[in-house]
Amino acid sequence: MTQDELKKAAALAALDYIEDGSIVGVGTGSTVNHFIDGLASVRARIRGAVSSSEASSKRLAALGIPVFDLNDIDRIPVYVDGADEIDGSFAMIKGGGGALTREKIVAAVSERFICICDASKRVPTLGHFPLPVEVIPMARSHVTRELARLGGEPRLRAGFVTDNGNLILDVHGLTISDPVDTETRINQIVGVVTNGLFARRGADLLLLAGKAGVERIPRP
């Protein structure tokens, strides 16, 4: 199976966890795109979706799935999203597509975070994938210096602007021995909107697609 077929298998497995009549939290990325396509097949069963990016909103709307403003919604039973890396405690690096801030907001409101991944995303320690950090443009140089002081090598994602009008610094070479601590420290840098570590609010269930099928692994 190709990596994309594995992504699709994980994504379609997530349909089993959708509550009838509910609003579904929808993440962003190539794995989630398969989930959105699958969601279209059960759209009569759901009220609609809350989305974490303009790209996902557009795809949902094109398939006739109503997209709600998060401010008008008080309950999201399930949030489905991919990850760039996920470790044994279900802490993740996300934001490879730059949607980390909205993803973190929708995840914070949701009762259950279901992570959909192909097996290559499972890692013993986070940090091989560069950590995305969303930054207010006027703070770019300041935040770059502060991230370097933490031991990383921040690189501006050239030509990229987030849905919120901000920049992304991708931090290479960071040692992440304590993901909750690193997430907290980076978020304390003035000018940082948020960072792509999802450790304080990690995944609750991992749907991991490999050659042998989709493993359904609850958070340890």
Ligand X SMILES: O=C[C@H](O)[C@H](O)[C@H](O)COP(=O)(O)O
Which part of the chain contacts ligand X (CB under 6 A), choosing from 69-77, 99-107, 167-175, 208-216? Answer: 99-107
Residue 103 among the catalytic residues = yes
Q: At 185, phi and psi to the nearest 5?
A: -60, -45
Query: Looking at beta carbons only, is 54 or 148 nearer to ligand X?
Result: 54
Query: Looking at beta carbons only, is 34 or 189 nearer to ligand X?
Result: 34
Spatial neighbors of 217 by CB under 8 A, at least 6 apart, are: 205, 206, 207, 208
| Residues 142, 131: Cα–Cα separation, whole Å | 17
**Pairing verdict, β 85-86 and 92-93:** antiparallel
Which part of the chain contacts ligand X (CB under 6 A), choosing from 24-32, 61-69, 159-167, 181-189? Answer: 24-32
Q: At 129, phi and psi to the nearest 5?
A: -75, 130
In three-state secondary structure terms, 64 is coil
Which part of the chain contacts ligand X (CB under 6 A), choosing from 66-74, 90-98, 143-151, 172-180? Answer: 90-98
83 annotated among ligand-binding-site residues: yes
Length of the chain equals 220
The yes or no reply on residue 183 touching ligand X (CB under 6 A) is no
84 annotated among ligand-binding-site residues: yes
| Residues 26, 29: Cα–Cα separation, whole Å | 10
Place of tokens 């990850």: 83
The yes or no reply on residue 31 touching ligand X (CB under 6 A) is yes
- Given 27, 130, 152, 179, the residue binding ligand X (CB under 6 A): 27
Q: State the catalytic residues.
A: 103
Give the residue numbers of the binding site for substrate.
28-31, 81-84, 94-97, 121
The residues that touch ligand X, with contacts defined as CB under 6 A, are 27-31, 81-84, 94-100, 103
